A and B are shown apart, each in its own frame.
Chain A
Amino acid sequence: NAGVMQNPRHLVRRRGQEARLRCSPMKGHSHVYWYRQLPEEGLKFMVYLQKENIIDESGMPKERFSAEFPKEGPSILRIQQVVRGDSAAYFCASSRGRQETQYFGPGTRLLVL
């Protein structure tokens, strides 16, 4: 049973470009959480999604960031017009249900030049 998969593992973008980060949850998991880890910091919650629904996006910046989890395919975290401050590791976690243990993916490391 494969774990949570994220791709790409590393992503380099120039300021102003778009970044798309993908997360495939574990089999049977329909809940996805995105967390961001800035350099030398702990992980911070960004957004929580269930299939086709955003449940809580209170941790996500209001502008330039969006997330989706379509009926088919992976969850996508999209950052438009990236800035240097977006450089971070973005982790996805999945679970069977809201009150279940979350399993973390390996992360995507975004570097904005």
Chain B
Amino acid sequence: KQEVTQIPAALSVPEGENLVLNCSFTDSAIYNLQWFRQDPGKGLTSLLLIQSSQREQTSGRLNASLDKSSGRSTLYIAASQPGDSATYLCAVQISAGTYKYIFGTGTRLKVLA
């Protein structure tokens, strides 16, 4: 059974720091992995999607890597800003059956001005 874990659960950093959010999953048979941002009381904003055959994806100050064999993904945020404060969710799409998404519980990030 696929399980997704995100560490740390919460993180507080001063503005300008580079930071890494971690996501691990128990079954390497995934179809893709996606990172989302969720602001309090809001919906999901897709940040980066990594197909299972890819190793990383980049968008602006964000870089996500994927190591399927070890069951890990990292989201790197460069030069953090207060506007980056949000909860970051990692989700894997299983590669069989319904192709549903399995979500982690998220990392709550606070960037201090």
Task: Name A's B-contacting residues (CB within 8 A).
Answer: 33, 35, 40-45, 48, 55-56, 59, 91, 93, 98-99, 101-107, 109
Contacts and interface: CB of A to CB of B under 8 A. Distances in A.
Interface residues of B, number: 24
B100 A106 contact: no
A45 B4 CA distance: 13
Given A91-B43, A104-B44, A106-B43, A42 B105 contact: yes
29 contacts: A33-B98, A33-B101, A35-B103, A40-B105, A42-B89, A42-B105, A43-B89, A43-B91, A43-B101, A43-B103, A44-B103, A45-B100, A45-B101, A45-B102, A56-B97, A56-B98, A56-B100, A59-B100, A91-B44, A93-B101, A99-B99, A101-B32, A101-B49, A104-B43, A104-B46, A105-B43, A106-B43, A107-B42, A107-B43
Interface of B: 4, 31-32, 34, 36, 41-44, 46, 49, 89, 91, 93, 97-106
A60 to B, nearest CB: 12
Contact of A102 (B4, B43, B101, B102): B101
Contacts of B97: 56
B79 to A, nearest CB: 27
A42 B101 CA distance: 11
Contacts of A98: 98-99
A106 B101 CA distance: 17
A42 B98 contact: no
Contacts of A106: 42-43
Given A35-B101, A59-B100, A107-B42, 6 more contacts: A42-B104, A45-B98, A56-B100, A93-B101, A98-B99, A102-B101
Nearest to A48: B98
Nearest to B36: A104
